[in-house]
Amino acid sequence: LRHFLTIEDLPCEILTEILDTAESFVSMGEQSVKKVPLLRGKTVMNLFFENSTRTRATFELAAKRLSADVLNLDIKTSSTAKGETLMDTLQNLEAMHADAFVVRHSESGAAHFIASQITPDVAIINAGDGRHAHPTQAMLDMFTIRRHKGAFEGLKVAIVGDILHSRVARSQIQALNTLGAAAVRVVAPKTLLPRDIEALGVEVYTRMEEGLKDVDVVIMLRLQRERMHGALLPSEGEYYRLYGLTQEKLTYARPDVIVMHPGPINRGVEIESAVADGPRSVILQQVSYGIATRMAVLSMATGGQAQQRELSQSMQQ
């Protein structure tokens, strides 16, 4: 792994290696991941050009637990406000000897563009670009599913809500199909489905009762109004009535279903509080597993994992 820009085209072996590497960090302690020296002497720069709570905080924690030096550039108070271009900003940061840029941007393709312009010595990790991809979110979601369900074979997963504007849904669909889930369903009103939805390898449903029937995993998405740009929307009340996940609608799924959400959640819009905070919800576990999963991606992309393997092998000789 060098850059981590998208799940698309990554083979099952790489995705499994990320999950196994993340597992090695979590198994050091179920709740908290201990500090390891894998990235000592390396510098990780978090460049968030769009708002974030979970992704930014867990990338910072992940880099610190790997013993890297971490810089969080505050874009709002940076010299981009004085007219400096994105590329000039990045070249200046590169001159400070960064080993990885973790990039979030509102434009689809921003991370790919940066990867094509910057020296290959700097690993580019996509922390969400427009409506295109959010690969580390998808991997922490896969990690959560594997921890609860053991394997992907035979699993039926429903992704519900604003699929059209969701980078998370695209990355999740790619990861679930590559890892061998039995069925990946999307459940949404037609107006919130992309035109190419069938080509993504999913089963399409517009009614919750049918889409949730006998599923093992339900992933809820919020309405991503910041990317809608005047699209025709149902009222929140109407949307909640038809697509909001309530305890009643959850009974369509298997009794051992897990409920997931990448966050931020909008209570009473796409999910009822009794479900979000209820016994089938693993929403906060997803956040916790984000640390170990992002540690795995950072260490694989910056060579820390290779060093670990060499060290283990030399100790065995």
* 134 assigned binding-site residue: yes
d(CA 79, CA 89) in angstroms, rounded, equals 8
d(CA 15, CA 136) in angstroms, rounded, equals 11
* 280 assigned binding-site residue: no
55 is a site residue for ligand CP (CB under 6 A): yes
Q: Contacts with ligand CP: how many residues (CB under 6 A)? A: 10
Concatenating the DSSP letter of every residue in 230-255 gives T-----HHHHHHHH-B-HHHHTTS-T
166 is a site residue for ligand CP (CB under 6 A): no
Stretch that binds ligand CP, among 90-98, 186-194, 244-252, 257-265 (CB under 6 A): 257-265
**In the chain, which ranges are continuous DSSP H helix?**
12-26, 54-65, 86-94, 110-117, 135-149, 167-179, 208-211, 236-243, 247-250, 273-276, 283-301, 304-316
Q: Which residue is nearest to ligand CP (CB)?
A: 55
227 is a site residue for ligand CP (CB under 6 A): no
Whole-number minimum distance, CB 83 to ligand CP, in Å? Answer: 27
Smaller CB distance to ligand CP: residue 7 or 38?
A: 7
Q: Site residues for ligand CP, window 186-225 (CB under 6 A)? A: none
Question: What single letter denotes the amino acid at residue 116?
Answer: S
* 227 assigned binding-site residue: no
Whole-number minimum distance, CB 106 to ligand CP, in Å? Answer: 11
* 54 assigned binding-site residue: yes
Phi, psi of 181 (to 5 degrees): -60, 145
Closest CA relative to residue 201, chosen from 223, 180, 222, 224? 180
226 is a site residue for ligand CP (CB under 6 A): no
Whole-number minimum distance, CB 40 to ligand CP, in Å? Answer: 26
d(CA 181, CA 287) in angstroms, rounded, equals 22
For ligand CP, what does the binding mask look like between residues 120 and 149, x meaning CB under 6 A?
--------x--------x------------
53 is a site residue for ligand CP (CB under 6 A): yes
Q: What is the pairing mode between strands 217-220 and 100-105?
A: unpaired
46 is a site residue for ligand CP (CB under 6 A): no
Collapsed DSSP state (helix, strand, coil) of residue 266: coil
263 is a site residue for ligand CP (CB under 6 A): yes
262 is a site residue for ligand CP (CB under 6 A): yes
Closest CA relative to residue 297, chosen from 98, 28, 34, 65? 65
DSSP state of 159: E
**What are the binding residues?**
54-55, 82, 104, 134, 137, 167, 222, 263-264
Would you tell me which residues interact with ligand CP (CB under 6 A)?
A: 52-56, 128, 137, 262-264
